[in-house]
Amino acid sequence: MKDLSNTISELLYEYDCVIIPELGGFITNYRPASINEDSGVLFPPSKALSFNGNLVQNDGLLANHIAAHSNISFEKACDQIKQKVEDCFSNLNEGHRVCFEKVGILYLDEEMSIQFEPDESVNYLASSFGLIEFHYPELREIESEVVQEVPALINEQMAETPVIALPRKELEKVIERVKEEPVVRKITSGSRYRYLAVAALLPLLFYMGLVVWQSDVIKDGNIHKSELNPFKTLKKPVYKERSKVFEGLEIPVIEHIRLPEDGLKGELEVEDDVMLPVIEETNSGSTFEEAVSRSEKAEPAVLNEPETKLEMKEKVVITATTIIADELFARPEMVSLPYHVMNGCYGVISNAKKQTKRLRGRGYDAAILDKKGKLYRVSQGSFTSEEEAINLLKKAKREDDPSAWLLKK
């Protein structure tokens, strides 16, 4: 039985079930680590060993192992196992306990059923090899007084230092002298570096605050390179009132004009009862504002003859710097009409001009009518009657722009 016990024990390290034909099978199951609170013993992970008497079919595992290690045939190995089983049943029937070394003990209970008592001293879990159960003490809180010992070096210094008793008056003088002596704080290298860092950051913070105060970064979030110079003198915009060219004479406001560099001179046709100021010829270096300021002081010339053409030799000579308005803008008589077929509004003047040129190329009497707020309004045509304006509006919606609309002033 000893040889059979050793064979079963060896197989239990590798297999979870080892069957003894006609007797039963030994089964192992994984058991995690556990603690016995009563005894204070910690058990490592292991395999729990049990016995099942219903597993009597020969699977060949035990017989093949015996045949290979004993160098005998499979049939002969089966015969040896059968003989061991018969001996085992004989001992059990006689009331004896059958012991399988390193495996456990088999015995019959009162109901003549086979019972198994495993050997707990053997752990068949290979991963727990070398781990044993151990007893650990219970952890308790212990209050203890910590006694701080004075270093021996200090005690030696105190022992070596002689104590001299001073008279009361001399002791008071020493105390007063110690009080009068100023306490000098030693600045370490770390403190010195901190002071230097703070001193270096102060000009930088002052410079950043000055740049933010002088620029418009807080207002609109934009900043220019020139504003980074803190010594630059800022020029603030100054409002200048528009000069009055002709008092009492109503002139349409033209926002976009084009002036020749040398100015234009020519003859002007005037109608009846028109008062024109005589403007002297300006020098090439004078500005338009200077010419206008001088024209305010000039005396007007009264012309009563109808359709009179002023010539250089015969009558009154008028020499003036001519202001040429942008031809893409609407004429004053067009602006004053009550009905306008509008094409669109543009925030950029160049886009409004491009659209006006395109509409004129398609045959419309288009122009930049006016500026409403920040938008330039482009008209496809202006009329005195509403019927004509509606006819053009239908044509514009059908042929050019479905979003066109009618503006009534």
How far apart are the C-alpha atoms of 300 and 375, rounded to whole Å? 39
Q: What angle do CA 8, 14, 17 make, to 5 degrees?
A: 60
Q: How many CA atoms lie within 13 A of 353 on its CB side?
A: 7
CB 2 within 8 A of CB 101: yes
Residue 182: exposure state from Cβ atoms within 10 A (0-12, 13-18, ≥19): exposed
* Domains of the chain by start residue, with CATH: 2-135 (no CATH), 209-239 (no CATH), 243-325 (no CATH), 332-408 (3.30.70.1070)
Helix, strand, coil percentages (3-state) for the chain, rounded to 5, are 35, 20, 45
Distance of CA 88 to the CA centre of its chain: 79
Q: Determine the residue type at 85.
A: V
Q: Which residue pairs, CB below 8 angstroms and at least 24 apart, start in 392-399?
A: 392/341, 393/341, 396/341, 396/343, 396/364
The residues with which 325 forms a beta bridge, in sequence order, are: 257
DSSP 329: B
Does residue 96 contact residue 45 with C-beta atoms inside 8 Å? no
Contact 382, 330 (CB under 8 A): yes
Spans of the chain, pLDDT less than 70? 1-2, 144-169, 171, 174, 178-190, 214-325
Helix axes 61-70, 2-14, angle to 10 degrees: 110
Taking the C-alpha atoms of residue 362 and residue 359, their distance in angstroms, rounded to an integer, is 5
Cβ 24 vs Cβ 85: under 8 Å? no
pLDDT at 236: 57
Contact status, residue 383 vs residue 335, Cβ threshold 8 Å: no
What is the C-alpha separation between 327 and 307, in angstroms, rounded? 26
CB 49 within 8 A of CB 26: yes
The whole-angstrom separation of Cα 316 and Cα 269 is: 12
Across the strands, what pairs with 372?
375
Q: Is 377 exposed, middle or buried (0-12, 13-18, 19+ CB in 10 A)?
A: buried
DSSP state, residue 181: S
Q: Is 258 exposed, middle or buried (0-12, 13-18, 19+ CB in 10 A)?
A: exposed
At 198 the pLDDT is 85
pTM of the model: 0.35
Residues 242, 390: Cα–Cα separation, whole Å: 40
Measured in degrees and rounded to the nearest 5, phi and psi for residue 367 equal: -165, 160
What is the three-class DSSP state of 119? coil
State the pLDDT at residue 154: 52
Q: From the CA atom positions of the chain, what is the Rg in Å?
A: 60
Q: Which of 32, 25, 31 is nearest to 8 (CA)?
A: 25
Query: Which pair of tokens denotes residue 307?
Result: 């359709």
* 334, 335, 341, 347: CA torsion to nearest 10: 130
Q: What is the pLDDT of residue 230?
A: 63
Give the three-state DSSP class for 75. Answer: helix
What residues form DSSP beta bridges with 345?
A: 377
How are beta strands 34-36 and 104-108 bridged, if at all? unpaired
253 in Cβ contact with 276 (< 8 Å): no
